[in-house]
Structure 1
Amino acid sequence: MGGGTWMRAWSPAVPSVREVLHARMTDHAYPAHAHADWALMLVDDGAVVYDLGGRQRIADRSSATLLPPGIAHDGRAAPRSDGFTKRVAYLDRSWMPESFAGPVVDMPGRTDLLAATRRLHRALAEPGEEHAAEHALLRVAEMLAAAAHGDAHPQRDDVLARRLRDLLEVHLVDGISLQDAGRVLGSHPGHLSRSFAASFGMPPHRYLTSRRVDLARELLLRGERPSTAAASAGFHDQAHLTRHFRRLLGTTPARFAGARQSA
């Protein structure tokens, strides 16, 4: 690898996501190779030229790129560029039927798919946002399925939504993935998420986060320190709590606790 190259990889606790890779490549050219998994890629800087299925393609900031499992592809920086920076989520082979590969790899320029993929990668990069990442990945899968087969969304189910809300309350601190909730409730995670949002006005992961903020407020009012309240309410750490506390309430946990003490 040449100068300026760097790489970071990890395995997040998100259903169907096997690995996340962030990398800056300057002079490396990938030879033809294949993956066992799907790869969903964003290019943040520069451009990647690659061959897939007998066609030369390009990936840049204007597109989300989906590479199917088991199909050979290569990759190199676009001519006259100084490299590229990319984010890749490697998704379990069972994430999507391989029969979808043909239609979905040819729709990289869709702005809604690009926006959904960016939301996914933002959530994957934030500690504690595993539920948000799972929701974003479900949304990407729904878009691709609709593009491949024109699938209609199942109708909302208010009873199912209430059952999911009850389950989220039981798992308020430890959390529960939509995949596991689907097993408990006998429903597809995507249908669970859509029904919940239609019934309660927000996706399940945002409901869970807002209720955790409620719990953290109660703990702060009882005199717990912000770091302890964060852990007790199910947040990854104090910074994770602070980010959502400020977004919802317009102040930090420390300031909220200070206002209580001075009241």
Structure 2
Amino acid sequence: MSKSDMVVETDMQALSTEPVFESPRDRARFRRMPGFSAVDLMDASFHDHHFAPHTHDGLMLGIMRFGVMRFMREGRTHTVEPGGITVINPGDVHTGGRFGEDRLVYTGIYAPQSFLEKAGLGSDAWFVSGVVTDPECWQLLLRASAPGVDPLAGQEHLLEGLFRLGRHASRGPGREERACSAAAARALGHLEAHYGERVTIDDLARIAGVTPRHMIRSFRKATGLPPHAWLRQFRIRKARHLLETGLAPAEAAFATGFADQPHFSKAFKQLTGTTPARYRLDMAA
């Protein structure tokens, strides 16, 4: 069966609930899974946007609706079409964006490890491939994440979909564990404690007790990202929490160490696909 046939045969009611976006080119909206407050959802419609390299603490799934996505995960390039599911393990460095002529529309599901255990996915579940093709699983996750879905039905579909997804997981060690040297740990600890402050490579090298070049290599080996990219991502995560409490974007930018609101807005959109103001409005709904 072709992927186009799978799309035709799927639950058309779920597909018909495609979110309506304000911009015809790039738009993303975040929301919480009804009944499962630990699970975030993102509805995305992209034409130009391409995510900068980043990671997630939990499992990230992309439920492809329309268009084609090309993304890099841990150094390997993947392409996924409607009917496919992108799978990003916790800690995987990845990118992503539209590929081809058509706009890209998908729904992202962000599930922390604590929640995954409810669906039978333990801490040893690991996805070797960045793309899973399973029509039944895709339909379940599509229905679960459809805007306006009945909360009880959505919860059932999500748990069933994740359980089925687990059939595609490997058990045991996944990606080779990143080695975090003592030097990298000292640098990471400093950034986590002082993320809102100005810091230089020389500062981190001095704290780590190694040369700047050694510190950068050790940091990347431990996190998959260079220090500046890791710090930007950490600041955005902190800012998201502040925006969810109702803090204004300008205040969130100042609290998380950004030079000004334009720099903050640009970094926020690069990593989330939306603006701080839109995210604050979405999560307050």
TM-score, structure 1 normalization: 0.49
More helix by share: 1
Bigger Rg, structure 1 or 2: 1
